[in-house]
């Protein structure tokens, strides 16, 4: 009798641990919901690009703004100023006051990758799943998402993409098939002010 009670107790304890673990497991859907809460994020970035043809890495830094409705505003300040604005169907590069604008009908392949990167920054895992195998580890405060390409032409360009973060994206590592690696570090992320300023809104109007 005692052995039966002991067996039942162990079984109930095991089931309790199992269901508890499943209840608190952090999955891809949780990640998407977590990142979707921050629809407007500003911050600073540092980018290190290591290329096979150069002995020294290329370093750039600046600030960024991600608006889930408008797109991505990427303002490089060092080593020289460049402003890049990405939307779902338009791209503008501003150098020395001169603007170059491109739309998705002019160069569909460029916008194929543009939409990919917007999905990465937004944490839109549904869109990412169309082209990658997703492997998520960690918890909501500190997670790592490894993306392995499954479709062309992405699999001919990238070997893998690793994204690390918590409430926001903190680090992205792009490893290319040819061996080049780009690392982006994001700091000082903030959701305030919660709406675009007039200047920021003008940046997306082109």
- The burial of 168, by beta-carbon neighbours within 10 Å (0-12 exposed, 13-18 middle, 19 or more buried), is given as middle
Predicted local confidence at residue 102, as pLDDT: 94
Query: CA-CA distance, 84 to 74, in Å (whole number)?
Result: 5
Predicted local confidence at residue 182, as pLDDT: 97
First-residue to last-residue Cα distance in the chain: 79
Q: What's phi and psi for 51, nearest 5 deg?
A: -120, 145
- Across the chain, which has 206 residues, the per-10-residue mean pLDDT values are 51 42 74 91 98 95 96 97 95 94 91 88 89 95 96 95 96 97 98 94 94
Tell me how far the alpha carbon of residue 45 is from its chain's centroid: 13
Domains and CATH numbers, the chain: 2-203 (2.50.20.10)
Please give the model's pTM, rounded to 2 decimal places: 0.84
* Cβ burial 21-30 (10 Å sphere, 16+ → b, else e): eeeeebebeb
């Amino acid at each position: 009798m005692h052995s039966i009670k002991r067996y039942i107790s162990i079984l109930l304890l095991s089931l309790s641990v199992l269901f508890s673990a499943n209840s608190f497991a952090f999955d891809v859907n949780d990640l998407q919901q977590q990142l979707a809460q921050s629809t407007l994020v500003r911050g600073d970035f540092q980018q290190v690009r290591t290329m096979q043809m150069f002995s020294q890495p290329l370093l750039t830094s600046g600030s960024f703004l991600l608006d889930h409705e408008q797109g991505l505003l990427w303002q490089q300040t060092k080593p020289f100023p460049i402003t890049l604005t990405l939307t779902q169907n338009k791209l503008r590069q501003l150098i020395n006051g001169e603007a170059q604008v491109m739309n998705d009908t002019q160069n569909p392949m460029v916008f194929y990758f543009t939409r990919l990167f917007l999905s990465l920054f937004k944490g839109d895992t549904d869109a990412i799943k169309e082209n990658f195998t997703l492997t998520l580890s960690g918890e909501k405060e500190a997670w790592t998402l490894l993306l392995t390409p499954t479709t062309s032409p992405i699999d001919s360009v990238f070997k893998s993409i690793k994204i690390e973060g918590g409430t926001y994206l903190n680090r992205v590592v792009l490893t290319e098939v040819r061996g080049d690696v780009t690392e982006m570090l994001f700091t000082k992320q903030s959701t305030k002010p919660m709406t675009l300023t007039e200047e920021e809104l003008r940046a997306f109007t082109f």
